[in-house]
Amino acid sequence: MPASDLALLEQAAQEAGEIALRYWRRDPQAWDKADGAGPVTEADLAVNAHLERLLRAARPDYGWLSEESADDPARLEAEHCFIIDPIDGTRAFIDGQVGFSHALAITRGDRVVAGVVHLPAQRTTYAASADGPALRDGKPIAPATHGLDGARVLTSKAGLDPAHWRGAAPPVMRSFRPSLAWRLCLVADGQFDATLSVRPAWEWDVAAGSLIAARAGCLASDLAGAPMRFNAVRPLTDGLVVAAPALHGQLIAAMTPRMAMPGGRVDAPPPAD
C-alpha cells in the first residue's frame, strides 16, 4: 500500500481510469438523478464503489464525501476526509468525448492536502500535495502570466453575463471544457489564463484542482476573493476564480462586489453539468 496520501490517490485514480474505460464509448447505461442533479451512469457507480473500497480500506479513519455516495455526517468529525468525484464531466463521458476526469482529494481540516485529477482517455494525470509542486505526468507546471485584455478564460456563457461585472464583461477569449476539475488544471498548466464560475460549485468538482492550481502558483478563491474551504456541512463553494495572482486580482476587481458567505454557506446548488 502506498505510504503517502498522494501516492494512494495516484494509484486509485489510475485504477478508476481502467474501470471507466471499460464502459467508455460502449453505450453505458445512463439515467438522470433526482432533483435535477444531472446524469449518472453505471460507470460512475462502478468507479465510486471501487474507490470507496480501496481508499477507505487504506485510511479507515478518514471521512468520505463523494458525489455518488450518500453523505455521512461523520466526515465532519474526521481530521482527514476524502473528497471524490468518480467521473467529472459525465455528459462528456456519455457522449464519448475525451474531456472527463477522475477528481480525488484529501483534506485536513478545511484545507486540501493532496489532490489528483486523472484524464484516462487522454492518459494525463495532474497531481499535487500541500508541500510539493504541481505536476502533470510527473513534470512541474506553472500558470501563464497574461493580463485581463485578451485573457483565455474557461467559463460558461453565464460567466460573462454583464450582471456579474462592473459595466460590460471584460474583453476576454471565452472557452469551455466539460470537466470543472480539468479546467482548473488547464489554468495551472498555463494552457489557459483563468477559469471562473459565477455559480456555486460542488466541493468534489474543485477540491483536487484547487490544490493543483495553488501549488502551480495560481490563486484559487471564491467569488469574493476568499480562499475556498472544504468539507463543509453543505459541500458547496460560492463560485470560483482561478488564475495567476495578477490576473486573479484584475478579475476580482472587475467583478460586481460580492459579500463573502460565512461558514461556506451558498444559497443555491449549481445546475447539473
Query: Taking a C-beta distance cutoff of 8 angstroms, is the pair 196, 241 a contact?
Result: yes
* pLDDT at 270 (0 to 100): 58
* pLDDT at 8 (0 to 100): 98
Sign of CA dihedral 12, 14, 18, 20: positive
* Alpha carbon of residue 191 to chain centroid: 17
Spatial separation of the C-alpha atoms in residues 48 and 77, rounded to whole Å? 22
* pLDDT at 37 (0 to 100): 79
* pLDDT at 271 (0 to 100): 54
216 backbone dihedrals φ, ψ, rounded to 5°: -75, -20
pTM for the whole structure? 0.94
* pLDDT at 273 (0 to 100): 47
Binned average pLDDT, 10 residues per bin, the chain of 273 residues? 87 98 97 88 98 98 97 96 98 97 98 98 98 98 96 96 92 96 98 97 98 98 96 96 98 82 45 49
* pLDDT at 35 (0 to 100): 81
Q: How far apart are the first and last CA of the chain?
A: 35
Site of grid cell 487504506: 58
Looking at the DSSP assignment, which residues form a beta bridge with residue 63? 81
Sign of CA dihedral 136, 195, 17, 7: positive
Q: Please tell me the number of Cα atoms within 13 Å of 7 on its side-chain side.
A: 5
* pLDDT at 51 (0 to 100): 98
Strands 219-221 and 240-243: antiparallel
* pLDDT at 261 (0 to 100): 41
Which stretches does DSSP call E strand in the chain?
Answer: 30-32, 39-41, 63-66, 80-88, 101-108, 111-119, 124-129, 135-136, 139-140, 152-154, 173-175, 194-197, 201-202, 219-221, 236-237, 240-243
DSSP string, 152-174: EEE--GGGG-GGGBSSSPPS-EE
* pLDDT at 36 (0 to 100): 76
